[in-house]
């Protein structure tokens, strides 16, 4: 045995032990079979076969595909204008489809924004507009030559039966869940509520105190289009569609940047991340944010390889679209901009042209959202830094919750990757990462730090991007418990998928005649996929979409089953007089409310009222001046905020002297009051 073997094999053994420790730890916390499964299945509605129900789901799906077709048709001319097709190859066809779709969805979102700002945001405008755009989109798509390419890509994907079966089952479950009426938290809070309000008003205007509606809202514009054309299920399907675009993107990166033989391996790493399927069935914006962020990174790496500044222009467009999703997306253009400057560090004067090629399109694409905020609220990054309408120092402190994070506890900071994987402190519990990122972390660090000629240059760039994203996230976690959300790292996880696929392929070099490391790791990966699939199937059974999809369960019955007390509270509000104005306390979700409802956006409304008005009498007077007629109190939300402390004195005073109980709904979780008039 050589001297290198004495070092290599113990390191391989330690890596395998670490991998299995990561897998075991993860599945101890995220058990594949939930204890709640049997209880959830005991009172499930019956299945049925209803042509109307099947037709309803088919129309939802067709409407989403219609919007996707429009996006592809609008994006293709921009892609061709960039001139990055280079040659007619399979990879270029992948790039053509993926990047044209990304660009087209951005164009559609900006178009809806423009219509909203001029007050033309109605179905009467949006429906004819989509009809007019459809022939143009079809004409553009007809010019694509993708027949042979599509067949070859499909054959490549199904060549590995494990990959094919896993993806078929995972995406099949995801599609059936995405076809259900929305029940996700943020969708009912603002992703769908905003579009609902815009369509009701026929315009985008600053009205209600819902701060999240002034975040960058590109994907909410697409949700607005979906609601206008068909409904909220179609909106949800648009988000699910981006899980497919992400799969195509990581496969493209694996082949183009890392030379991985089968890009499907990177797709396996992607869908072994449970949050992909989970988020893909909700009306969120995390998947398109990840797509645009990673696409910008891919374009930057291609520029590094070939020097064509048009790749930087494409990267800038995608970075601008990412900044049109969330404020936290600024890490991507900042990272790329810093790497650009570093590349020209010996002669910064040469950096201005490539920097401008990247920064100018990014700024132009993102600018409408920040200019809109500036015009509406006086703050381009509302509500942060500069405050603005409906905002003050009290609310800023309540939102940031500074000092509630882990602090500068060295052991807690060192334990962060492990705690992140296990989701032990996740504020939203909607971002399970799976065990593979933690398991492959030592291998990623080893290959990123070693300088070897055969290591793809993209590995170090992607590793640095993941590190920068992680450090930014960790800084937030140190300061505020509310920022402990694993899904905020989703762009970094997606970017790592092709790198992990290459690392898995690279382990062939470790094989020994008596022991194949690659085969052993493939077995470990298969084991993880089986457990992830089992966990997803358990969650799917718990939700049980088949009664609704088959027609055995109505929309109202499904929402009552899934949302329980919350939906009961919304139904109680919906029978109030049409001119009722209901303010919510400790409840931010209001999508299913059909009256003028004022949600408690960041669960600070009552404390803020006490801060402004001091006592119950003044609060009641302020409510009357706003036109408030009713108050909905979510007792569970109040208990969560107070953490078993007694009710605030002002609240008890309000209930006793200024509010009359209309009813207790949702098994006692909600209390609906009418505000006494003087």
Question: pLDDT tens digits, residue range 36-66?
Answer: 666 666 667 778 888 999 999 999 999 999 9
- Counting DSSP H helices and E strands in the chain, the numbers are 32, 5
CA angle 131, 134, 138 (to 5 degrees): 160
What pLDDT does residue 389 have? 84
Note whether residue 611 is domain-resident: yes
Report the C-alpha gap between 348 and 246 in whole angstroms. 35
What pLDDT does residue 408 have? 86
Provide the whole-model pTM: 0.95
Report the C-alpha gap between 572 and 247 in whole angstroms. 43
What pLDDT does residue 445 have? 93
Question: pLDDT tens digits, residue range 345-366?
Answer: 888 888 889 999 999 999 999 9
Domain boundary among 351, 380, 409: 380
- Please, what sign has the CA dihedral across residues 528, 533, 538, 540? positive
Report the C-alpha gap between 669 and 664 in whole angstroms. 8
What pLDDT does residue 519 have? 87
157-170 CB burial, b ≥16 within 10 A, e <16: beeeeebeebbeeb
In the DSSP assignment, the letter for residue 211 is: G
Note whether residue 244 is domain-resident: no
CA angle 401, 405, 410 (to 5 degrees): 155
Coil vs helix vs strand at 598: strand
What's the total number of domains in the chain? 2
Note whether residue 66 is domain-resident: no
| Distances 136 to 73, 269, 534 between C-alpha atoms, Å | 7, 37, 44
Report the C-alpha gap between 583 and 597 in whole angstroms. 6
Report the C-alpha gap between 288 and 98 in whole angstroms. 12
Partner residues linked to 670 by β-bridges = 634, 665
CB 300 within 8 A of CB 336: yes
What pLDDT does residue 144 have? 78
Domain boundary among 380, 403, 435: 380
| Distances 432 to 76, 454, 486, 501 between C-alpha atoms, Å | 35, 33, 7, 20
Report the C-alpha gap between 196 and 202 in whole angstroms. 10
Question: pLDDT tens digits, residue range 141-171?
Answer: 887 776 555 656 666 666 677 788 899 999 9
Given the structure tokens 């993708």, which residue do they identify?
Answer: 146
User: What strands lie across the sheet with 630-634, from one edge to the other?
Assistant: 596-598, 581-585, 630-634, 670-675, 659-665
Alpha carbon dihedral 516, 518, 524, 526, in 10-degree steps, equals: -120
Note whether residue 177 is domain-resident: no
Range of the domain at 328: 305-380
Note whether residue 126 is domain-resident: no
Closest Cα to residue 312, out of 326, 298, 294, 324?
Answer: 298
Domain boundary among 332, 347, 380: 380
Question: pLDDT tens digits, residue range 190-220?
Answer: 999 999 999 999 999 876 778 889 999 999 9
Note whether residue 144 is domain-resident: no
Note whether residue 232 is domain-resident: no
In the DSSP assignment, the letter for residue 584 is: E
The low-confidence residues of the chain, meaning pLDDT below 50, are 1-3, 87-91
Structure tokens at 11: 């390191």
Note whether residue 390 is domain-resident: no
């Amino acid at each position: 045995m050589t001297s290198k073997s004495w070092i290599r094999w113990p390191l391989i053994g330690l890596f395998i032990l670490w991998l299995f420790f990561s897998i075991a730890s993860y599945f101890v916390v995220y058990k594949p079979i939930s204890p709640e499964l049997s209880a959830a299945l005991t009172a499930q509605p019956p299945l049925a076969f209803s042509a109307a129900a099947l037709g309803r789901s088919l129309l939802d799906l067709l409407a989403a595909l219609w919007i996707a077709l429009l996006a592809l048709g609008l994006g293709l001319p921009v892609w061709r204008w960039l001139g990055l097709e280079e040659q007619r190859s399979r990879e270029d066809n992948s790039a053509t489809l993926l990047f044209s779709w990304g660009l087209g969805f951005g164009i559609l979102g900006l178009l809806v924004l423009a219509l909203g700002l001029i007050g033309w945001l109605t179905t009467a405008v949006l429906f004819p507009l989509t009809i007019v755009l459809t022939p143009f989109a079809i004409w553009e798509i007809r010019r694509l030559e993708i027949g042979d390419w599509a067949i070859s890509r499909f054959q490549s994907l199904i060549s590995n039966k494990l990959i094919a079966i896993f993806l078929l089952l995972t995406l099949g479950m995801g599609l059936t869940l995405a076809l259900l009426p929305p029940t996700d938290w943020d969708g009912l809070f603002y992703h769908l509520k905003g579009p609902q309000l815009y369509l009701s008003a026929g315009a985008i205007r600053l009205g209600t105190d819902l701060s999240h509606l002034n975040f960058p809202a590109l994907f909410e514009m697409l949700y607005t289009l979906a609601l206008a054309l068909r409904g909220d299920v179609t909106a949800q399907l648009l988000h699910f569609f981006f899980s497919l675009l992400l799969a195509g993107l990581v496969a493209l990166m694996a082949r183009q940047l890392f030379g991985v033989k089968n890009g499907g391996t990177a797709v396996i790493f992607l869908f072994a991340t449970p949050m992909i399927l989970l988020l893909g069935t909700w009306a969120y914006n995390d998947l398109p944010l990840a797509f645009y962020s990673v696409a910008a990174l891919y374009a930057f790496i291609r520029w590094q390889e070939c020097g064509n500044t048009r790749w930087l222009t494409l990267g800038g467009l995608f970075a601008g679209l990412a900044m049109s999703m969330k404020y936290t997306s600024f890490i991507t253009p900042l990272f790329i901009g810093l790497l650009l400057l570093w590349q020209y560090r010996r002669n910064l004067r040469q950096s201005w042209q490539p920097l401008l090629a990247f920064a100018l399109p990014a700024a132009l694409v993102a600018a409408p959202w920040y200019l809109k905020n500036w015009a509406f609220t006086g703050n381009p990054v509302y509500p942060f830094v500069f405050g603005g309408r409906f905002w003050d120092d009290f609310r800023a402190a309540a939102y940031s919750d500074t000092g509630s994070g882990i602090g500068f506890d060295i052991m807690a900071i060192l334990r962060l990757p492990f705690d992140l994987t296990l989701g032990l402190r996740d504020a939203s519990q909607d971002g399970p990462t799976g065990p593979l990122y933690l398991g492959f972390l030592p291998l990623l660090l080893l290959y990123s730090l070693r300088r070897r000629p055969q290591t793809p240059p993209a590995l170090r760039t992607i590793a640095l991007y993941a590190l920068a994203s992680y450090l930014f996230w960790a800084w937030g976690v140190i300061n505020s418990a509310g920022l402990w959300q694993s899904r905020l790292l989703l762009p970094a996880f997606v970017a790592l998928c092709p790198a992990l696929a290459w690392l898995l392929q690279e382990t062939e070099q470790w094989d020994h005649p008596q022991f194949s490391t690659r085969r052993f790791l493939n077995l470990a990966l298969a084991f993880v996929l089986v457990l992830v699939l089992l966990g997803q199937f358990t969650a799917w059974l718990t939700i049980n979409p088949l009664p609704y999809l088959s027609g055995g369960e109505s929309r109202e019955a499904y929402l009552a089953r899934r949302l329980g007390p919350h939906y009961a509270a919304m139904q109680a509000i919906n029978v109030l007089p049409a001119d009722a104005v209901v303010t919510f306390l400790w409840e931010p979700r209001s999508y299913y409310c059909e009256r003028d409802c004022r949600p408690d956006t960041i669960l600070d409304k009552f404390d803020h009222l006490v801060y402004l008005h001091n006592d119950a009498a003044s609060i009641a007077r302020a409510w009357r001046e706003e036109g408030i007629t009713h108050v909905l109190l979510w007792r569970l939300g109040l208990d969560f905020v107070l953490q078993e402390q007694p009710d605030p004195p002002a609240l008890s005073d309000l209930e006793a002297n200024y509010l009359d109980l209309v009813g207790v709904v949702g098994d006692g979780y909600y209390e609906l009051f009418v505000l006494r008039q003087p």
